[in-house]
Amino acid sequence: MSASAPVLQRPPSGARAALLRQLADGWHAYRQHVMGMVGLALVVLLLVVALFAPWIAPFDPNVQDLQQRLLPPSALYWFGTDHLGRDVFSRVVFGARTTVEIVLLVTIIVAPVGLVIGTTAGYAGGLVDEVLMRITDIFLAFPGLVLALGFAAALGPGLTNATIAIALTAWPPIARLARAETLSLRKADFIAAVRLQGATPSRIVLRHILPLCIPSVIVRVTLNMAGVILTAAGLGFLGLGAQPPLSEWGAMVSSGRQFMIDSPWVVAAPGLAIAAITLAFNLAGDALRDVLDPRGDR
Amino acid sequence: MAQPLVAVRELRVGFRTKAGIVDAVRGVGFDLGREKLGIVGESGSGKSTVGRALMRLLPRSAAVRAERLAVCGTDVLTASDRTMRDIRGGRIGLIMQDPKYSLNPVVTVGEQIAEVFRLHRPEYAGKRAAREATLSILEQVKIRDPERVASLYPHQVSGGMGQRVMIASVLAGGPDVLIADEPTSALDVTVRLEVLALLDELVASRGLGLIFISHDLNLVRKFCDRVLIMYAGRVVEALAARDLGNATHPYTRGLLASMPHIHEPRDPLPTLVRDPAWREPA
Amino acid sequence: MSAASRPSQAPADEAGAEDHSERLAVLGRVAGRILSIVLTLLGLLLLTFTMGRLLPADPVLAITGAEVNKATYDRVYQELGLDRPVWEQFLTYLGKVLRGDLGVSATTGHSVLTDLAHVFPATLELAMVAVVTGVLIGVPLGIVAAVNRGKPIDHVARIIGLAGHSVPIFWLGLMALLLFYAKLHWVDASGRLSVFYEGMMEPVTGLLLLDTAMARDWDMFRDVVSHIALPGLLLGYYSVAYISRMTRSFVLEQLNQEYVVAARAKGLSTFQIVWRHVFKNIRVQLLTIVALTLGGLLDGAVLIETVFGWPGLGQYLTRGLTMNDMNVVMGAVLLTGTLFVTINLITDRLYKVLDARTR
């Protein structure tokens, strides 16, 4: 019915070229996705704001000025000031840094941990697989926030600990995914070939299987990022995340609570920031899913 | 015949896809009386699309145009949704390829027939009447133990029996026209002939018009009165089944030539060489 | 079923052996499943135990208070078993939990089990309102969106879903309070009941909506509704987002099936097709989704309870966390985990039973 896919018309000249072409094709498909592009733009905006926060923010986010408490938004204070006279806009801008730190740190912890556990379980099979998957199941047996709460409290409040706590709850789905990928790769001819050449299992897993699982794991981590940000904000709101005076959106909402009725801006601004960036990751994730799995629903 | 059961003139169907519009049917025309009309073509030739266009069953991405597209005198292109629902099942029924997929897996066989009675036959609208009618039609499609079969789920019946059930559910609406879209392709060879014989008998005894869509020229030649040969969305040749031997179009001749004969072994069997010129009107 | 069935004249003893080994296999599967449940629960306990041991606060000081002399400290230290090896402490913990002893809360002074029994119905009631909201709105919304795929209503449903996945629930709760409580005075702000009614109702089920309705105390019922409406609906909104999205994709998957074309060819309307044919095919999947939502609601409940001062499991847990009340944290986390596992287990069984009937 339809013409043959363009991918088939150009024979790949090498693995790297094929990968680049795949990426280019993927990017081409992604660009068609309006909402996905909106999400991506917002994510880029977040990164830019986080990177250049000191230059973007008009005020020092931590300098208190009790003369200027709870001022409504104005030309000088775009989002108003909070109960300590700090500029809310500047704090929201610096809060972007905190969010990016959490996102990066969670990715850096979760992706390798999930990959190693998942590929090991998948390749080794048998008892190792059974034990590792049982552990994964136990972590999955808790609702994410409750588990993160427990760990955050156990490790002590603070941004790093909160991030580790989130990472502890975020790796099981990644490990499951890596395991499934490994199971499908394990029987492949090229793995058999490597094995016949005398490669050790650890070498096969690390050099040959794990790299092939990386793309799908990265995609999955991106898809889960919206949830990570919401959990982080929840921890911050409950006082178990970043500690004052560090700007963190969830904590800002929490500290603004008691002034909310008369000064709603102290709560509205950070909340909208969380919503916007979570929405951005959701939109980008949806678009990514559509591109990677075109037969799925839109 | 005063008015044909189905009248098609210059039917065109295009599908909107990401790569632009793909024309699946490009100017097809035919009439159907109380006869067995075969439509033969390879996959992608547009034969199934013609059948579904007649019932307005194509997806939203399809653009259907025609000078005339009528079933039992009703214009399918302009009819209201309400009218179409009466026509579908009531005047024209569709037998699909594989009962494994065309029967709902979680609804009993009997219920899938009974609902057609309740929908199209006011005289069987009651629960008990619909059930009795169901059992009787199951008997007519030669199912031995209708009581038991009616209470089965589709996965509990064999392919041949499933297709009989499918035929029963289509006949339940009392249609004048049947479209059978590759009705035996998914069946075991041994049951194929039984199902065909059943279909033949039912069409004859009820005086229906049948559109028999198939890729199997030999089968159509034996089973149908008249044959349309489709290629690339067009009817390249239309002739009586018994005249197939005198077909003139090179595509038809090619199809006939590439069929093996038990009495005249040929080696190698000729393959069909497609001429781009066939895509265009002669 | 198929024409080529296996030879039916198999020797009787062979058939018997086959039957026997089959039964053994079934037995093995059941044993395996039970073992896996036991292991999961054991892991759950190990995890909560670790969590409790990791808590930075000194469990002794939590009981004795900061000012304590060395002798008392050492005595409590020993009483808590903290001088024993860790594995022994775990076994002791295990034994206590099995006997239903979750320890005593340092802040409330009650046994944690009593406290949990007291706070759990509040969370359950909240979750019930949320799930009912989620199903009543989410399922129809998902169906309508799927049937009208690509049309405006589909986009509306998509936006509702996206917002539900993106807006932090604690923030939405605060904004809702600002609007409906502070500005419009439509609802009551905090807790399950107005102070006036506090303690007037002897709990029967612990679910105040049920208790007051059974007592036909409609004034009090109205008061309960006014308190639960906002947190319940907000929590429900999050399940609407999830349920509608999943329903939509289930229905879309079904609409691509051949039997739907067959049903349309029979002359059924879209409504009849969805209701009589599609819905029967997705109800088991929907059940799973609803159960999963129930687990996810526990997350949202922790936050929404904090915002609305709802005296439930979530608030109990967060209080325990801020007060460094180890037994409370361990108890609440354990209960949540056990609930989650149980829900998943029941769903899984139900899925298999319902699915096996027709497939």
CB under 8 Å to B33, separation ≥6 — which residues?
B1, B4, B5, B209
SS3 content of chain B, % helix, strand, coil (to 5): 40, 25, 35
- Helix or strand or coil: residue C73? helix
Contact A149 C317 (CB under 8 A): yes
Phi/psi region, residue C346 (left: phi>0; alpha: psi -120 to 50; beta: rest), is: alpha
User: Where do the structural domains in chain C lie, given as residue ranges?
Assistant: 1-39, 112-358
pLDDT tier, C2 (very low <50, low <70, confident <90, very high otherwise): very low
By C-alpha distance, the chain B residue nearest C358 is B106
Q: 10 Å Cβ neighbour count for A294?
A: 10
State the residue for tokens 């016949």.
Answer: A196
The pLDDT assigned to A206 comes to 85
Q: Strand order of the sheet with strand B36-40?
A: B92-95, B177-181, B209-214, B36-40, B226-231, B234-240
Q: Which of A139, A146, A156 sits opposite C333 (nearest CB)?
A: A146
Residue C4 pLDDT greater than 50, yes or no: no
The pLDDT assigned to C56 comes to 66
Q: How far is CA C118 from the centre of its chain?
A: 17
Q: How far is CA B124 from the centre of its chain?
A: 26
Least Cα separation, residue A162 to chain C (angstroms): 14
pLDDT tier, C62 (very low <50, low <70, confident <90, very high otherwise): low
Nearest partner of A162 among A241, A224, A252, judged by Cα: A241
How far is it, in rounded angstroms, from Cα B278 to Cα B236?
8
Contact A2 B17 (CB under 8 A): yes
Alpha helices in chain C (DSSP H): 12-54, 59-64, 70-79, 86-98, 112-147, 152-166, 169-176, 208-214, 218-255, 258-265, 270-272, 279-308, 313-322, 326-358
Contact B188 C263 (CB under 8 A): no
More confident residue, C87 or B162: B162
Residue C59 pLDDT greater than 80, yes or no: no
Residue C61 pLDDT greater than 90, yes or no: no
Kindly report, residue by residue over B175-195, the tens digit of the pLDDT.
Answer: 999 999 998 888 888 888 889
Residues from chain B contacting residue A1 (CB–CB below 8 Å): 15, 22, 24, 44
Q: How far is CA C76 from the centre of its chain?
A: 37
* Mean pLDDT score across all residues of chain B: 88
By C-alpha distance, the chain A residue nearest B233 is A1
Residue A8 pLDDT greater than 60, yes or no: no
Kindly report, residue by residue over C25-47, the tens digit of the pLDDT.
Answer: 888 888 887 887 888 888 888 88
pLDDT tier, A65 (very low <50, low <70, confident <90, very high otherwise): confident
Percent of chain C whose pLDDT exceeds 70: 89
- State the number of CA atoms in the 13 A half-sphere of B135 facing the CB: 10
Under CATH, which architecture does the C112-358 domain have? Orthogonal Bundle (1.10)
Exposed e or buried b for every residue in C7-18, given b needs 16+ CB within 10 A? Answer: eeeeeeeeeeee
Kindly report, residue by residue over B231-244, the tens digit of the pLDDT.
Answer: 888 888 888 988 88
How far is it, in rounded angstroms, from Cα C193 to Cα B100?
57
Kindly report, residue by residue over C231-266, the tens digit of the pLDDT.
Answer: 999 999 988 988 998 999 999 999 988 999 999 999
In which element (H, E) is residue B211 found?
strand B209-214
The pLDDT assigned to B91 comes to 92
The pLDDT assigned to A1 comes to 39
Nearest partner of A235 among A169, A137, A136, judged by Cα: A169
pLDDT tier, A3 (very low <50, low <70, confident <90, very high otherwise): very low
Residue A244 pLDDT greater than 70, yes or no: yes
Residue A68 pLDDT greater than 90, yes or no: no
pLDDT tier, A295 (very low <50, low <70, confident <90, very high otherwise): very low
Cβ atoms A250, A241 nearer than 8 A: yes
CA distances from C302 to A22, A168, C65, C172 (A): 43, 19, 28, 14
Phi/psi region, residue B227 (left: phi>0; alpha: psi -120 to 50; beta: rest), is: beta
What is the mean predicted confidence (pLDDT) over A203-221?
Answer: 84
A283 in contact with C at a CB cutoff of 8 Å? yes
Cβ atoms C321, C306 nearer than 8 A: no
Q: Which of C36, C39, C336 sits opposite A146 (nearest CB)?
A: C336
Q: Which of A87-91, A106-110, A153-157, B145-149 has the lowest mean pLDDT?
A: A153-157
By C-alpha distance, the chain C residue nearest A285 is C162
The pLDDT assigned to C132 comes to 93
What is the mean predicted confidence (pLDDT) over B23-31?
Answer: 90
pLDDT tier, A293 (very low <50, low <70, confident <90, very high otherwise): low
How far is it, in rounded angstroms, from Cα B94 to Cα C265?
6
Residue C171 pLDDT greater than 50, yes or no: yes
The pLDDT assigned to A7 comes to 41
* Mean pLDDT score across all residues of chain A: 83
More confident residue, A277 or C62: A277
Q: Which of A106-110, A203-207, B15-19 has the lowest mean pLDDT?
A: B15-19
The pLDDT assigned to A78 comes to 81
Dihedral sign for Cα atoms in the order A218, A222, A225, A227:
negative
State the residue for tokens 């608030």.
Answer: C315
Kindly report, residue by residue over C264-307, the tens digit of the pLDDT.
Answer: 999 999 999 998 899 988 988 898 888 888 877 888 888 999 88
Q: Domains of chain A (ranges plus CATH)?
A: 43-292 (1.10.3720.10)
Least Cα separation, residue C24 to chain B (angstroms): 27
Q: Find the length of chain C.
A: 359
Residue A215 pLDDT greater than 70, yes or no: yes
- Using CB atoms and an 8 Å cut-off, which of residues 21-40 of chain C contact chain A? 36, 39-40
Show the tokens assigned to A104.
């990066």
Nearest partner of A100 among A165, A47, A162, judged by Cα: A47
A262 in contact with C at a CB cutoff of 8 Å? no
More confident residue, B139 or A8: B139
What are the beta bridge partners of residue B177? B92, B209
By C-alpha distance, the chain B residue nearest A6 is B19
B neighbour chains, 3+ CB pairs within 8 Å: A, C
pLDDT tier, C195 (very low <50, low <70, confident <90, very high otherwise): low
Q: 10 Å Cβ neighbour count for A217?
A: 23
* Mean pLDDT score across all residues of chain C: 82
pLDDT tier, C57 (very low <50, low <70, confident <90, very high otherwise): low
Contact A2 B44 (CB under 8 A): no
By C-alpha distance, the chain B residue nearest A4 is B19
More confident residue, A103 or C83: A103
Least Cα separation, residue B17 to chain C (angstroms): 15
What are the beta bridge partners of residue B88? B92
Kindly report, residue by residue over B52-111, the tens digit of the pLDDT.
Answer: 999 999 988 889 999 999 999 899 999 999 999 999 999 999 999 898 899 998 899 999
How far is it, in rounded angstroms, from Cα A255 to Cα B171?
71
C249 in contact with A at a CB cutoff of 8 Å? yes
